[in-house]
Amino acid sequence: MADPIIRMENIEKHFGSVIALAGVTLEVFPGECHCLLGDNGAGKSTFIKTMSGVHKPTAGTIQFEGEVMNFENPRDAIAAGIATVYQDLAMIPLMSVSRNFFMGNEPTKKIAGISFYDKDHADRVTMEEMKQMGINLRGADQAVGTLSGGERQTVAIARAVHFGAKVLILDEPTSALGVRQTANVLATVDRVRKQGIAVVFITHNVRHAMAIGDRFTVLNRGKTLGTADRGHITPEELQDLMAGGQEMAQLEGSLGGTV
């Protein structure tokens, strides 16, 4: 197996007296979808924010492409090639797909020595990138707010890939989607990893994880419960790890098996 593109080793994160992460280690390899699972409060959000430069770890090291990294902010992580697509997507609904796609990275052209926004280039690239992700837009001028939730997720993913993501972190990308939209997003993730990009897929939905994941790591109260390869763990075992199988069994017993 190739070397991991990113390795988070013994990561701790403290907020005063609160220990959000208590020594988490995770490796992600190029071209794999590594699912990070856990219930609410397990530490998933803190962990990915540490990976993407939002938080600095209290202890532990982040190695990216074999080098120890000390990200001061998210821009450092993005410059290195670590992009994050959050649930809110950071898009403006009334703006066009192409303007959202190039927000902060607007292409320009010069006319008579003056720089102008290159709308033709932006529109062409947007249509091409979205088509590669399996989405056929009516036009690049279409407002983002008219797209489905799954299509908006695909715009955000395509944008990150276009601007050089080597590691793509997806924060609960299917949490608010219907069945068909979820299937479209999972298909997009599959296209991305086939390009050799590492995907960190954060979810609490075992079915979605099993559909797309190559490896699965479960967090619980800021600690790692273990990592399993695809084919070496069942959905039921994964669910038990997340929810605490023993606790659920005790609850079922006390309720007469009605859970």
| Run of H or E residues at 51 | helix 44-51
pLDDT 10s digits, 22-57: 999 999 999 999 999 988 888 899 999 999 999 999
Per-residue model confidence (pLDDT) at position 251: 53
Residue 241, pLDDT > 90, answer no
pLDDT range class, residue 1, cuts 50, 70, 90: low
Distance CA 124, CA 142 (A): 13
The CATH H-level (homologous superfamily) assignment of domain 28-55+67-91+164-254 is: P-loop containing nucleotide triphosphate hydrolases (3.40.50.300)
Per-residue model confidence (pLDDT) at position 95: 93
Give me the residue spans of the domains in the chain: 28-55+67-91+164-254
- Which amino acid appears at position 125 of this protein? V
Instruction: Decide if 220 contacts 40 (C-beta within 8 A).
Output: no
Over residues 118-145, the mean pLDDT reads 92
| Higher per-residue pLDDT: 127 or 244 | 127
Instruction: Decide if 86 contacts 173 (C-beta within 8 A).
Output: no
pLDDT 10s digits, 66-113: 999 999 999 999 999 999 998 777 789 999 999 999 998 899 998 888
**Can you give the pTM of this predicted structure?**
0.87
Residue 256, pLDDT > 80, answer no
Residue 245, pLDDT > 70, answer no
Residue 124, pLDDT > 80, answer yes
Would you list the DSSP string of 158-183?
HHHHHTT-SEEEEESTTTT--HHHHH
Q: Residue 39 to residues 25, 74, 190, 202, 205: CA-CA distances in angstroms?
A: 18, 25, 24, 11, 9
Per-residue model confidence (pLDDT) at position 211: 92
Tokens of 231: 């084919």
Show Cβ contacts of residue 86 under 8 Å, excluding neighbours closer than 6 positions.
Answer: 171
Average pLDDT, the chain: 89
Q: Is 11 helix (H, G, I), strand (E, B) or coil?
A: strand
- Backbone phi, then psi, for 42, in 5-degree steps? -75, -20
Distance CA 212, CA 48 (A): 19
Residue 257, pLDDT > 60, answer no
